Amino acid sequence: MADTKLARTNSMQLESGVAHQRCINPQCRATLDIAQVRTACDRCGDLLDIEYDWSKTAVPKRLSDFEQMWSQRHLPLRFSGVWRFHELLPFAPADKVVTVGEGQTLLQQSNEVGKYVGMAAEKLYLQYEGMNPSGSFKDNGMCAAFTHARLTGAKRAACASTGNTSASLAMYSSVTRLMKAVIFIGSGKISYGKLSQALDYGALTVQIAGDFDDAMLRVKEVSKDLGIYLVNSINPFRLEGQKTVMLRVLEALRWNVPDWIVVPGGNLGNSSAFGKAFIELKELGLINRVPRLAVINAAGADTLFQLYERRGLRWNNGQPDMAIIGDYYSDLDTRKAKADTIASAIEINRPVNLQKCLRALDFCDGVVRKVTDQEILDAKAQVGAGGIGCEPASAASVAGAKLLREEGVIAPSEQVVCILTGHQLKDPTATVAYHSTDQDQFNDVLGKRGVSRASFANRAIAVPNDLDDIVRAIQLYS
């Protein structure tokens, strides 16, 4: 398809109302124009989706038709791993799309990690989203949110963050100069790798005395009061971009659907976006079956696990039992319970996309599990030794797949894709402490979180500054 034709098609699509915002609550279903900025339905307060009238848009007949885009990599729109699937998120004209080259990510088959998880050979895949420009999957969504923000004329964009959303927002802001970035972070809760990105990119960084859940509440209030564009995953446009992680997985598998997608769960934007991707692909007849979805919480931030697996909360055709959620949150308040995990990216107790995630779990016959910090760090060390590496939260997917294998929920012969959400260098403190020979450093960072051993530590060896000793040590250890 010629790009000029595409640009023309997209402008026409928007004029003829191909996309709108729609309340996810089937009892409400209120619609809202695409140009409006909202993070919740005006009528009932539920979350919003972007919905398309596919009959008015040019959707390829087969997913493999997207391969034509590979020959157009010289065009920024087609170089992007998000926008080369523009036809499946057609809410903005091609000439208004924001891209900084996001989504050049890799699906790597790893037998090393597969063995650790308990899979048969060639069955485990790692989807490396850390290869995005800001080092995490967030860029997939941020380019979409920025595109919408630009359409609405926004001058400032804000987020609360455990670190990666803020790094991504700060980066898009500094590269595109379209908007000023304002980021809210909890005190002492953000890894240095991520904080350094926000500071270096020049974002206005507001550190509030509280955790992510507190920062999230505040940023919603402040954005409303000051008319700042909110780019957290509660923003439905962001999730449109994140759908493409699944499209790239399918692309790498030559359009075959895997048996399982395993993803860490924090604010539940990814799992929600993945579910929406599969709902739409099925509706469009582009796939004929869907993978099962496993969402993995950290044990210290396990709201979804508690609600879904322990209290039986379900999507229930869009009518989840809100009393179960209300009771759970009151109990957290009474106990003054705060999320606490080494996987700081997913240290979240009140996930904003809970309902959408329930919908995804419903559609994809999903399961939810929780894994300890010990399991996360051991899995992370295995990913480092047998893959490209990842930050702690990402390794929850591998630890979760291992647990599901041990339980027999995942069979060794099934094809499993674990999403590695963030780059290894995002949180060097956790990595170095795990591999450290210094017990104090280990205890300081990990011991206080119940991590008692580093089963796969690769310890540095100390040698005198002497040639013979160095040679002897290398011969001994290699």
Among 22-30, 73-81, 386-394, 443-451, the segment contacting ligand F0G (CB under 6 A): 386-394
CB of 372 to ligand F0G, least distance (A): 17
51 contacts 30 by C-beta, under 8 angstroms: no
CA distance 378 to 452: 11
Relative orientation angle of helices 192-200 and 164-176, to the nearest 10 degrees: 20
Among 38-46, 143-151, 264-272, 313-321, the segment contacting ligand F0G (CB under 6 A): 264-272
Q: Which is nearer to ligand F0G, 69 or 416 (CB)?
A: 416
Among 56-64, 163-171, 281-289, 319-327, the segment contacting ligand F0G (CB under 6 A): 163-171
| Distance from chain centroid for Cα 324 | 26
- Tracing tokens 């294998």 back to the chain, one arrives at 405
Check residue 96 and report its DSSP letter: G
Choose which of 267, 297, 372, 382 interacts with ligand F0G (CB under 6 A).
267
CB of 421 to ligand F0G, least distance (A): 3
Question: Which DSSP string corresponds to 424-474?
Answer: GGG-HHHHHHHH-S-HHHHHHHTGGGT----TT--PPPP--S-HHHHHHHH
Q: Which is nearer to ligand F0G, 129 or 378 (CB)?
A: 129
Choose which of 161, 235, 244, 349 interacts with ligand F0G (CB under 6 A).
161
Choose which of 126, 234, 346, 371 interacts with ligand F0G (CB under 6 A).
346
Check residue 60 and report its DSSP letter: -
Burial of 233 (0-12, 13-18, 19+ CB in 10 A): buried
214 contacts 185 by C-beta, under 8 angstroms: no
Which residues on neighbouring strands pair with residue 125, listed in sequence order? 109, 417
Residue 266 interacts with ligand F0G (CB under 6 A): yes or no:
yes
Q: Which is nearer to ligand F0G, 13 or 164 (CB)?
A: 164
Among 33-41, 64-72, 85-93, 259-267, the segment contacting ligand F0G (CB under 6 A): 259-267
Q: Which is nearer to ligand F0G, 367 or 393 (CB)?
A: 393
- Tracing tokens 């280990």 back to the chain, one arrives at 442
Residue 371 interacts with ligand F0G (CB under 6 A): yes or no:
no
Residue 394 interacts with ligand F0G (CB under 6 A): yes or no:
yes
Residue 265 interacts with ligand F0G (CB under 6 A): yes or no:
yes
123 contacts 111 by C-beta, under 8 angstroms: no
Residue 345 interacts with ligand F0G (CB under 6 A): yes or no:
yes
Which residues on neighbouring strands pair with residue 297, listed in sequence order? 370
Q: Which of residues 413-442 bind ligand F0G (CB under 6 A)?
A: 421-422
CB of 120 to ligand F0G, least distance (A): 27
Choose which of 164, 205, 244, 355 interacts with ligand F0G (CB under 6 A).
164
- Tracing tokens 């020979």 back to the chain, one arrives at 437
Count residues near ligand F0G (CB under 6 A).
21
448 contacts 371 by C-beta, under 8 angstroms: no
Please report, as ranges, the residues that interact with ligand F0G according to CB under 6 A.
136, 161-165, 233, 264-270, 345-346, 391, 393-394, 421-422
